[in-house]
Amino acid sequence: MSSHDERIARLLEFGGPTYAAQAGIRLADKPAPLYQLLVMSLLLSTRISADVAIAATRELREAGYTTARKMQSATWQQRVGPYAGDRAAKAAKQFGLPSTARGLASAGGTDDLSRLTAALVRASLEKKVRDKVG
């Protein structure tokens, strides 16, 4: 076995599954999977980790936003809701806050639940925010 063959074998062994496989996208030369790959590539090109981009892609797919038409018919809240909601709930628990939207709304401190949700998501993604909040 050549050194190239060995290196390729190690890459395939330790490289893990493809991002598409992790996101649950079944590759095919059809509009829906190609659109899902486009969405995933856009998320991967943003300033978030690959793990977050893949998880967001998976959430969008599982929520049914698998085509451009379905995505267009969704509100921005519906697009970010499933993923943001889970992330915000986990962060809220870490900070000892209620983990439901109703609980957060009744906890006081702000009338802007969408901004609080965004702040919780950011805290879940950025250690420096978690450190500052305590």
Cα–Cα dist 114/90, whole Å: 16
Q: Where are the beta strands (DSSP E) in the chain?
A: none
Write down the pLDDT at residue 12: 80
Residue from 85, 45, 79 nearest 62 by CA: 79
Write down the pLDDT at residue 82: 67
Say if residue 12 is exposed, middle or buried (CB neighbours under 10 Å; 0-12, 13-18, 19+).
exposed
CB 55 within 8 A of CB 43: no
Per-block average pLDDT, block size 10, for the chain (134 residues)?
81 87 95 96 90 89 94 84 78 89 78 80 85 87
Crossing angle for the helix pair 76-94 and 50-62, nearest 10 degrees? 120
What's the predicted TM-score (pTM) here?
0.64
Number of Cβ within 10 Å of residue 74's Cβ equals 15
Write down the pLDDT at residue 119: 86
Whose structure tokens read 């030369």?
A: 29
At residue 22, the 3 state secondary structure works out as helix
Write down the pLDDT at residue 2: 78
Cα–Cα dist 72/68, whole Å: 6
How far from the centroid of its chain's Cα atoms is residue 60's Cα? 8
